[in-house]
Structure 1
Amino acid sequence: MKITVKSLKGGSSIVEITEKTSILDVKKLVEKDIKIPASQQTLVLFGKTLQDDKCVEDYPKIKDGTKVYVAIKKPESLNAVLIKFLRKYYSDDQCKLIVDEFMRNFQSKVDSLSLDDLERIAKSEIGE
């Protein structure tokens, strides 16, 4: 079956799926057309969020020609990711101290980069 996935910021994608296709796989198909990373997508059907670990068959309202909307999640900040990880091992106060020190050190290192350094990093990331 084919469904249309429309972005709230414009753009759409028609994807070919089966009932056994996972919602995460639908996001990956959409990522190719709309250029929104799957990790930042939230698929919405009739006001309900579709869960990544479920399949299309778990949502009986998804049929051939159905329109599903994709909302873009704001990526988590580095601070938030670090705190979430560190909370497994440290108290909240310790997490804050560690993250604050890490961010000061990180900012210092970034500030010390030259334009040549930034160009080298950019080239290595885009594969030149």
Structure 2
Amino acid sequence: MKVFIKVLQGDGCMVDVNENMKIQEVKKQIETHLKVPVSQQTLVLTGRTLSDDQTIGKVHLVIKKPESLEEILGRFLQKHYSEKQTKVILEEFMKDFYNKVQTLSLDDLERLAISYLNDENM
């Protein structure tokens, strides 16, 4: 059967499913159609989140905002430093990072983007 997956603030897509299909399999189809990574998807049925090992039904897709570099780095630093030290290190790192990004030309940014996209497609 075909199921329409609706994104709360946008598009949707039709996916082919059967009642025995696991949610994880449906998420992989959604990733193919909508280019939303499985790790950022939450499927919802009547207000309840479906776990990956459940089978399919009528569902809605909620896309989780990816974590920022600052959030990921902050969580890593907290494992090794105090909260105060983490804050200082993170502020200095982010300031330096943004200053370096500002010096990149549009050509540099384009090369980085192309390189990143090529790595993703491998």
- Per the TM superposition, whether the score is higher than 0.5 is yes
Aligned mate of 1:121, from 87, 112, 121:
112
1:8-19 paired onto structure 2 within 5 Å: 8=8, 9-16=10-17, 19=20
Asked whether 1:100 is paired with 2:101, we answer: no
SS at match of 1:25: helix
* Distance in 2 separating the partners of 1:17 and 1:96: 49
Closer, same or farther: CA 113–92 of 1 in aligned 2, 3 Å: same
**How far apart are 1:105 and its partner, in Å?**
1.2
* 2:102 corresponds to 1:111: yes
Greater RCO between the two (CA within 8 Å, min separation 6)? 1
**Distance change >3 Å, CA 87–CA 13, structure 1 → 2:** farther
Letter in 2 for 1:56: Q
Q: How many angstroms apart in 2 are the aligned matches of 1:101 and 1:114?
A: 23
Q: Distance in 2 between matches of 1:13 and 1:89?
A: 46
Mind listing any 5+ residue stretches in structure 1 that lack a counterpart?
Answer: none
Question: Relative to 1, partners in 2 of residues 1:13 and 1:88: Cα closer, same or farther, differing over 3 Å?
Answer: farther
SS in 1 for 2:74: helix
Closer, same or farther in 2 for the Cα pair 1:69/1:20, shift >3 Å?
closer
* Runs of 5+ unmatched residues, structure 2: none
Aligned equivalents of 2:39, 2:28: Cα separation in 1: 9
Find the partner of 1:71 among 59, 62, 84: 62
Q: Identity rate of aligned residues, in percent?
A: 50
Could you say if the C-alpha distance between residues 20 and 85 of structure 1 is closer, same or farther in structure 2, counting changes exceeding 3 Å?
Answer: farther
